[in-house]
Amino acid sequence: MVSKFSIPRRILGKTGYKISSISLGCAPIGSVYGKMELNEGLNIVREALSHGINIMDTSPFYGETRSEKNLGIILNKLKDEFPRNEYYLCTKIGRYRDDYFDFSPKKIKTSIEESLNRLQTDYIDIMHAHDVEYSENIQQIWNETLPTLEEYKAKGIIKNIGISGRPLSVLDYVMKQYGYDKIDTIITYNKYILFDTRLLNFIQRFKKYNIGIIHGGTTGLGLLTLQGPPSWNTAPKPFIQACNNAIQYLQSLQSLQSKNNNNNNNNNIDNIIDNNKYNIARLAFLFTHNLQDIHTTLIGWTNTQQFYSNIQWLSQYIDNNYQLTEEDQTMIQYLQNNIFHDVMNIGWIEEGSEKNIIESLTKYWRQKHMPV
Domains of the chain and CATH, by start:
9-367 (3.20.20.100)
Paired strand residues for 127: 91, 161
Beta bridge partners of 185: 162, 212
- The C-alpha atoms of residue 345 and residue 191 are separated, in whole angstroms, by 9
| 266: Cα separation from own chain's centroid | 38
Q: Give the Cα separation of 82 and 52 in Å (integer).
A: 11
Q: Which residues are catalytic?
A: 62
Q: How far apart are CA 119 and CA 108, in angstroms?
A: 16
Each residue's pLDDT tens digit in the chain (372 positions)?
A: 555 678 999 999 999 999 999 999 999 999 998 899 999 999 999 999 999 999 999 999 999 999 999 999 999 999 999 999 999 999 999 999 999 999 999 999 999 999 999 999 999 999 999 999 999 999 999 999 999 999 999 999 999 999 999 999 999 999 999 999 999 999 999 999 999 999 999 999 999 999 999 999 899 999 999 999 988 899 999 999 999 999 999 999 999 887 776 666 665 544 455 568 999 999 999 999 999 999 999 999 999 999 999 999 999 999 999 999 999 999 999 999 999 999 999 999 999 999 999 999 987 555 555 543
Question: Model-level pTM?
Answer: 0.93
Burial (Cβ within 10 Å: 0-12, 13-18, ≥19) of residue 38 = middle
Is the separation of the CB atoms in 21 and 289 below 8 Å? yes
Helix axis angle, 66-77 to 38-50, nearest 10°:
60
